[in-house]
Amino acid sequence: MDLWTNPGDVVLSPFAGIGSEGHVSLQMGRKFIGIELKESYYQQAARNLQAALRINGDLFAA
């Protein structure tokens, strides 16, 4: 992700799965938008991303 984005950029994952890519995005100072159709994956991704925000702070705050 370091090669393709800069801090503050938005990373889009059309197949978000359980949010691994989003978790790393948030850790690296990027914003994240994920799309996931499977309900159980979405629920797990939401938990994982909340954990990343607790660790790194809310990057969407003004």
Query: Both ends of the chain: CA-CA distance in Å?
Result: 24
- Supply φ then ψ for residue 34, to 5 degrees: -125, 145
pLDDT of residue 4: 87
Cβ partners under 8 Å of residue 36, min gap 6:
15, 16, 17, 42, 45
Domain coordinates in residue numbering, the chain: 10-56
Q: Where are the alpha helices (DSSP H) in the chain?
A: 20-27, 39-56
Please report which confidence band the pLDDT of residue 1 belongs to, taking 50, 70 and 90 as the band edges: low
Per residue in 5-59, pLDDT tens?
999 999 999 999 999 999 999 989 999 999 999 999 999 999 999 988 887 666 5
In one-letter notation, the amino acid at residue 12 is L
Cα 36 to Cα 60: distance, rounded to the nearest angstrom: 20
